Amino acid sequence: MKYSLWTFAVLAAFSISSCQVPNSVKIDEAGIIPIPTSISSSAGVFELAPTSSIQLIGEGDDLSRVGNFLADKLRPATGFEIPVSNENGDLILELVSGSASEKYNINISSDQVKITSTSAAGLYYGMQTLIKALPVEIENTSKVDAEWMIGNGIIEDQPEFSYRGAMLDVARHFISIEDVKHYIDQMGSLKLNYLHLHLSDDQGWRIEIKSWPKLTEIGGKTEVGGTEGGFFTQEDYKEIIQYAADRFITIVPEIDMPGHTNAALAAYAELNPGVNLPDGDFATMTEGKIDFDILDKNPQPAELYTGIEVGFSTFATNKEITYTFVEDVIKELVALTPGPYIHIGGDESHVTEKDDYIYFVERVQEIVIKYGKTSIGWDEIATAKLAPGTVAQFWALEENAKLAKEQGNQILMSPAKRAYLDMQYDSTSRLGLHWAAYIELDDSYNWDPATYADGINKSDILGVEAPLWTETITNRSDIEYMAFPRLAALAEVAWSSSERRNWDDFKKRVALQGKRWDINGIEFYRSPKVDW
């Protein structure tokens, strides 16, 4: 039989094409967010199969939990059993010796995928990267007919900052425990590791304090707009802490003071400064104004507040009862909170006299230290003398950040013009405010914490946090619309080096992430900056 040259060419082309693996994507094109430190692709693929299993190398409950997380993520869409054990498997999670860090490596060959780290947290972050290297269909919660392939190669990765956070304001509008957990799940997938809960403000007190029960009985009753509020019992709070810890996320509780305290002042009149009058009577301060029609031997409780103005409330900084109250609250919070930080607020305390403010901040820091924790406060606290270790959270004024640095203290970067998730995307956004800026997706992405503020260098920075204030936010759908996709951008700012980050590349990767959010029912904002 004779064959023409054309026939040989066709056969050769068919032979080559039949060796190509359909639906396989090189790992450096997989849309991984945050982008890893380095990715090197090689020929070939690993294919997840019905016989695939997870092998754990090392000891500890944390290792087992990561293995089970991975299996639970892979099983629904694949329909595979994916057993987890210490026996041989093609998906290997190995704890290696060395100083514990969040660094991890992934080695993908045609025979196996191996994730190694010196910590279970590192393995967890590697697991999240592995999931994003698989086809987006892996996000489905029921079986999908697909080929579960990952391009071969090596990923080496570690975070740029040790603190990579998000803040959720549960005070302006109360956010349910189920929705907080949902937010924690999304944070974990983006390798964020601190959740700051803003638990008190003028509009509501959201954490049960057993020694001061009216804080929630009265202060927790309402929220912005006058709708019914709510609060976390101490058991609820412990449940949130455990749920977060299982995902290597640390809870940072905030009690904002001495301003933003109207809910507490409505619950306990004795915390209200009032005004000393010549005859020894008092007049109550309401929204920063003295009401001389209310005269009594004791200050009156403040009225519950459901608006969104700021700066009108303050604790009585010159009364010992105030510090008894603060110590009781901190003592109970510390007993519930295993993480290292207590956030003491300190912002926008406009009606507190400057000397009184300084005295209050310095004294409250000492209470936090007494109970073995470290204070974080909004950048205004740097106008006082900071205790060693206290962290100033930069949101507004560079000069305050510099004051913190000059005192030898670190800074948590949350500039409102870049990191505030409650700011509108543009003038057409259905939710949010814009007093700081309109913040489109590229604004969230295109900034460098290490160069953002003059005189503040990377060595001065503890990390990055993305706050979500809830004046206009009432439910999960609202949270998702305001947080996503910007939280993904800010997670990459916190995790990935500035040298690795590129806006044009991120646009492509976040478009793939959008497909994952769609599958998961995340109602994210479809920025016109991205081809979704």
- Polymer length in residues for the chain: 532
Q: How far is CA 276 from CA 82, 259, 283, 297, in A?
A: 71, 19, 7, 10
Residues 390/381, Cβ–Cβ less than 8 Å: yes
Contact residues for 261 (Cβ-Cβ < 8 A; gap 6+): 200, 202, 271, 313, 314, 315
Give the tokens for residue 327: 């110590």
Phi-psi category of residue 48: left, alpha or beta, with phi > 0 → left and psi -120 to 50 → alpha: beta
Name the nearest CA neighbour of 166 among 464, 450, 376: 464
Residue 45, SS3 per DSSP? strand
Is 403:455 a contact under the CB 8 Å cutoff?
Answer: no
Query: Which entry of 29, 47, 270, 348 is annotated as an active-site residue?
Result: 348
- The dihedral sign for the CA sequence 6, 8, 14, 17: negative
What is the Cα–Cα distance from 333 to 237, expressed in whole angstroms? 10
Of 314, 316, 320, 375, which is closest to residue 344 (Cα–Cα)? 375
Separation in Å, CA 128 to CA 34, 85, 124, 188: 10, 20, 6, 8
Q: Please, which residues have CB within 8 angstroms of residue 258's CB and are 6 or more apart in sequence?
A: 314, 315, 317, 346, 349, 352, 356, 357, 360
What is the distance between the alpha carbons of residues 527 and 532, in angstroms, rounded to a whole number? 8
Burial class of residue 142, CB neighbours in 10 A (0-12, 13-18, 19+): exposed
- CA distance to 62, 276, 391, per residue, from 281 (Å): 60, 6, 40
* Lookup result for tokens 């009606």: 351
Strands 391-394 and 374-378: parallel
Least Cα distance to 297 among 316, 315, 274 occurs for 274
For residue 418, give the amino acid letter: R
Residue 348 annotated in active site: yes
Active site residues: 348
